[in-house]
Amino acid sequence: MNSVSGTKEPNYSWLALGDSYTIGESVLETERYPVQAVAILGKSGTHFGEPEIIARTGWTTGDLQHALDIKKPISRNYDVVTLLIGVNNQFQRRSRAEYQEQFSALLKRSIALSGDRPSHVFVLSIPDYAVTPFAIQMNTKEISLEIDSFNRINKEISLFEQVNWLDITGESRKAANDPSLVAGDGLHFSGKEYAVWASLLANMIEQKISKH
C-alpha cells in the first residue's frame, strides 16, 4: 500500500476526530487539513497512510461521542490522533459545563486510541466563524467571545492531560481581511486556510514522531 504522501510504504497511522472543519466541508478531499498535513510530512520523510477520519458537519461533542460508540476505529494504537470539536456546541448554545465534561471524555478516549501516548495526541483550538460572510448579520463580537471561552476549556483540559494543543483560532480570524481563506459556502474555511493549519500541525507532529 502506498502512502498518500508519496510512493513509500507508510510508517505511521492517523485518526482525525471532529466536525465540518476536519471532514473539510465545501473543499476537496485533498484540501482537508489532515490530508494536507500528511502530504507535508511525507515531503520531509515522515510517511503516513491515509488518515482515518471520523467527523461530520454539524457534530457536537455529544455527536462525536455517539459516533465513536457506533463506528469503532480500526486501531487502538494510532501514531497520531487529532481532535478538533466544539464550534457546534457554541452554535447550538449548548452549555460550557456540558462541553467541559464531554470534551474531557473525548480527549481521554483519544489518548487511549493513541496507545496511551498523550504526546501523540493533538488538540486544535476551535476556529472563529464570526469572520465569515455567514455571520455578518449576527452578533460577531459575542460569537468570538464565546469561541474564546470554549477554547479556554479545551486548552485547560489538554494541558492537564499533557497532550499537544495547537492554537489555530488566530489564524482563522485572518479571514476577516482575506476572503480567499473562506470556502465558497461563505461559512467554512478554504483549502488555503486549511493549508496553514496543516503546516503548523505538521511542524508540531514532526517534533513528536521519530523518523524511520
pLDDT tens-digit map of 82-98: 999 999 999 999 999 99
59 domain-assigned: yes
Give me the pLDDT at residue 177, please. Answer: 97
Residue ranges making up the domain that contains 120: 14-208
Residue 203 grid coordinates = 511542524
User: What is the chain's mean pLDDT, rounded?
Assistant: 94
Q: Cα 68 vs. chain centroid, distance in angstroms?
A: 16
pLDDT mean over 142-154? 98
Checking if the pLDDT of 70 tops 70, the result is yes
Give me the pLDDT at residue 35, please. Answer: 98
pLDDT mean over 23-33? 98
Give the total number of structural domains in the chain. Answer: 1
1 domain-assigned: no
86 domain-assigned: yes
Checking if the pLDDT of 3 tops 50, the result is no
What's the CATH number where 42 sits?
A: 3.40.50.1110
Packing angle between helix 140-161 and helix 96-113, nearest 10 degrees?
A: 40
Give me the pLDDT at residue 112, please. Answer: 97
Checking if the pLDDT of 161 tops 90, the result is yes
Task: Kindly indicate the confidence band of residue 75, based on its pLDDT and cuts at 50, 70 and 90.
Answer: confident
Which pTM does this prediction carry?
A: 0.94
7 domain-assigned: no
What does the alpha-carbon distance between residue 84 and residue 61 come to, in Å, rounded to a whole number? 10
47 domain-assigned: yes
2 domain-assigned: no
Number of Cβ within 10 Å of residue 189's Cβ equals: 28
pLDDT mean over 124-139? 98
pLDDT mean over 88-113? 98
pLDDT mean over 10-30? 96
Give me the pLDDT at residue 8, please. Answer: 60
Residue 64 grid coordinates = 462525536
25 domain-assigned: yes
Checking if the pLDDT of 76 tops 90, the result is no
What does the alpha-carbon distance between residue 134 and residue 160 come to, in Å, rounded to a whole number? 35
49 domain-assigned: yes
